Chain A
């Protein structure tokens, strides 16, 4: 193996800006062959920009990269792949209607001599070989649709291996895996390292990063916050480097906190494979944080409450009245609002204007007799919303939301729901993909909301966000409620441990 002095990948002083805003300031890091580098940082810290540069999706303005000792400047993803850089994304890039072996070779099937026929025997043999290497015991002719999420990920890794990847970048690989699958993944990564493959491992699950990586690089606001061998770092230190400031300054103080009447409750909510006997309640003016890894059932729980997904058993009560067999409409009529995690897919009609989106969930309030809409009222309420949300535009009637920034889009979604004056507002990842400034505004809006007496169920992957905003934090793991933390200051490690599904017993007293 190569010595420690000659890293396989070296990134030096890379800088990148979009529209005049620098998102990456002179970032440098390096990975050795056969070693793993953990890359951590909050959303918006510059991780994905760095990875896009590595993958050839975008090009840096300054700085240089070296791969295996040679200058590396991929102009597009194909060049990156040819250089031996492979990505395992959270969203797997597999064709479900093809078999495992076909997925491995879909863009470059080996042929039988000059005939345009697939050399089935060749791909069978090499597929079996790489599947053995990633320890995946399925037949190469199995349809990917029939595999579990973890198995699919192994197929993706096998694909990288079969392409002779020399650097494999994992982006949040464990979010939708079961624990045994995670353990298996780590074993595979270990094996890849032994083969001399360099690994970059990106994750919010810091324990995972610590257990997989030799070195950890922390990014913050586009800057390099620090790099150190993992043995020199504690979890607390990593978090401190990631956050870089005290939580209090980011999360605005609320005038009044918690403690109203119990306004919403869920008891015994169960759905096979998704949730098991989930019970909790929320008071008026209270923010309850829901912590859990992605894939823990957080979003699914919210969707069941809002009537988007079915559930087998359980009782939901709001304002003292049971909400039986909820549909989105009946949930809304009962006073529930729901900001989904998928803003583009479910939150907004991207081709429609700000005002059209603003009133979409509250059309009745701007409609007169026969459901005729009052256009002036629509403009007026949309303008009100825009100013209350401090939207970047006031041309609400002719600005399509797709032309707004992520933060402003999110404000439109929130504004749309606030028009209904919800009793309970479920916020699923309200700050995902928006910049720090917009985040703070969203926090301010949430606080305003509870001060006026609404209850909030806040779902977030960012534990700091949960701790900064919530009155109480619930931990969910594999569809089960595994802990409830109600004393400020929160015990971050306990929450994380509970959410990660370890130390369940201690946390759940």
Chain B
């Protein structure tokens, strides 16, 4: 019995990956175009903005907080870029977006950590404020970007498409921060057990604050990568994207209760979501079933995760005496 549940656990632990493989096979069987290398490159390019956003979200989720304002940050920073920095070279634009995103993230962080207001409601409110400001600035128009931004999409770095390159850089930086710096490990500590973190003398508020800053920066950068692809920013830009980012993180094994998950998982989650969309496009599926399939897959993955934690809890229930193997 015990061995059985261990095996089950192993399956459940890798369930998102199994799910991914199953999906690949299904789409592959339905269209031979799906398995082309170029298509996987497509998927990753398309997943890049959402993956970058979700990486930032991962930091916030790891500390058991949530950031619903990322779509607003993305919209506002891109709008400012389109309105006031059309002539600037792209590195300047990117720097501006990073700065603005970080600044807005810092505002979220201050309200959450200093005033102690629940991050859910803070970021829900700032989401609307930010979208409102962006609409005000743009007068709700769709703004176009010039060639400076548009050509970036087709540019490559070391033979890698720029979107993938940007995404790899963000991923690598986030991975190093989370796994190789004191701050990153403390993020896990704070999320895993805030009370113990406080007792250990960790600066809990400061750590949470910086996670919001990082989420803001990632939202800015994700938005930037996105505009190189779509070349315009309008009132629907980044709408509801916070939910996709959270879904990507959760699909990749990040817990909404903090302390568990990794950026690698998150990236996987983002790619999974985009693969579904890509696969449905490729097999020319009925447009109406897109949200249904996506929702079902998110639901399934999270249900499996719930089952998994339940089994882990059962296996790790404190034992007093040796368990005889039956």
Residue positions of A touching B, CB distance < 8 A: 77-78, 93-98, 102, 106-107, 109, 111, 116-118, 120, 145, 149, 176, 272-276, 295-297, 300, 478-480
Contact = CB atoms under 8 A, between A and B. Distances in A.
A149 B318 contact: yes
A120 B185 CA distance: 12
Interface string B196-214: 1101111000000000000
Contact of B196 (A93, A109, A111): A93
B196 A274 contact: no
A276 B183 CA distance: 46
Contact of A95 (B193, B201, B322, B324): B193
Interface stretch (B71-79, B174-182, B240-248): B174-182
7 contacts: A77-B201, A95-B259, A106-B186, A149-B318, A273-B320, A275-B320, A300-B320
B171 interface: no
A95 B320 contact: no
Contact of B320 (A94, A107, A111, A478): A478
A274 B321 contact: yes
B222 to A, nearest CB: 24
Given A273-B322, A297-B320, A300-B320, A116 B192 contact: no
Contacts of B316: 145
Interface of B: 2, 176, 180-183, 185-186, 188-189, 191-193, 196-197, 199-202, 259-260, 316-324, 326
Contacts of A94: 196
Contacts of A176: 318
Contacts of A274: 317, 319-321
A40 to B, nearest CB: 25
Given A106-B200, A107-B201, A116-B181, A273 B192 contact: no
A94 B192 CA distance: 10
B181 A272 contact: no
A106 B189 contact: yes
A145 B309 CA distance: 13
Contact of A117 (B176, B192, B260): B176
Given A95-B193, A97-B192, A106-B186, 5 more contacts: A93-B200, A95-B196, A97-B189, A97-B260, A274-B317
B323 A95 contact: no
Contacts of A295: 320
B320 A296 contact: yes
Classify the secondary structure of B's interface with A. Answer: loop
A478 B321 contact: yes
A479 B189 CA distance: 33
Nearest to B325: A272
Nearest to B322: A273
A96 B193 CA distance: 8
A143 to B, nearest CB: 11
A118 B189 CA distance: 15
Given A93-B196, A95-B192, A106-B186, A118 B321 contact: no
A107 B192 contact: no
A116 B318 contact: no
Contacts of B320: 273-275, 295-297, 300, 478-479
A423 to B, nearest CB: 28
Contacts of A120: 180
Nearest to B255: A97
A476 B87 CA distance: 80
Contacts of A479: 320-321
A102 B185 contact: yes
Contacts of A96: 192-193
A311 to B, nearest CB: 12
A118 B180 contact: yes
- List the 8 closest pairs (A to B, CB-CB), nearest first: A273-B319, A109-B182, A97-B192, A273-B323, A478-B321, A479-B321, A95-B189, A272-B323
Contacts of B182: 109, 111, 116, 118
Give the residue among B183, B318, B320 with the most A Cβ atoms within 10 A: B320
Contacts of A272: 2, 319, 323-324, 326
Contacts of B185: 98, 102, 106, 109, 118
Contacts of B322: 273
Contacts of B191: 97
Contacts of B318: 149, 176
A300 B318 CA distance: 10
A276 B321 CA distance: 9
A273 B188 contact: no
Contact of A97 (B199, B201, B202, B259): B259
Give the residue among A109, A296, A478 with the most B Cβ atoms within 10 A: A109
A435 B121 CA distance: 43
